Amino acid sequence: MEEAGYKRFKIEPKPAPHVYQIPNKFDVSARKLRLAAMLVHEALEYRLNKEVVLSRPCIYGVFGGRFGGFKPLKHKCVGCMRCVQEYPHIMTVKQSDSYKRLGMKLRPGRSQSRAWATKARLQGTGLTACGPTCQR
């Protein structure tokens, strides 16, 4: 039995966009001249076998873009370092500077956090963090 005037409706869920763009965690870069030389060398060595020459070590698709290793897709990098392990003279992976700056205002400095940790460990033991010469 359906009441007059009551109609059920459905709201479709949609993903919300980010308030601000989250920076990539890793900065992947390649030495372009060395990469080009390696590609030419492999093309000659493997007699232009397309599957061998165009295969790259990244299983996450960082080099799967239109320009391959010349313009890596940084948003796909997870920092596994497989590309650096296979081609250390060509590839470089480091943590992004913009990613490092995220949250720095809220996180205490290293010396400050060590002092907090020491104080928390000694709390309730009757000891202090300044040593035996400390005045109470």
* 82-99 pLDDT tens trace: 999 999 999 999 999 988
| Residue 9 domain flag | no
DSSP characters over 12-60: PP-PPPPSSPPPPSEEEEE-HHHHHHHHHHHHHHTTT-HHHHT--S-SS
Task: Count structural domains, the chain.
Answer: 1
**pTM score of the predicted model:** 0.59
Query: Is residue 95 included in any domain, yes or no?
Result: yes
Residue 48 located in a structural domain: yes
Exposed/middle/buried for 51, CB within 10 Å: 0-12, 13-18, 19+? exposed
* Domain assignment present for 134: no
Domain membership of residue 85 (yes or no) is yes
What tens digit of pLDDT does each residue of 41-65 get? 999 999 888 888 878 788 999 998 8
The average pLDDT across 54-81 equals 90
- The whole domain housing 56 covers 26-100
Would you say residue 45 lies in a domain? yes
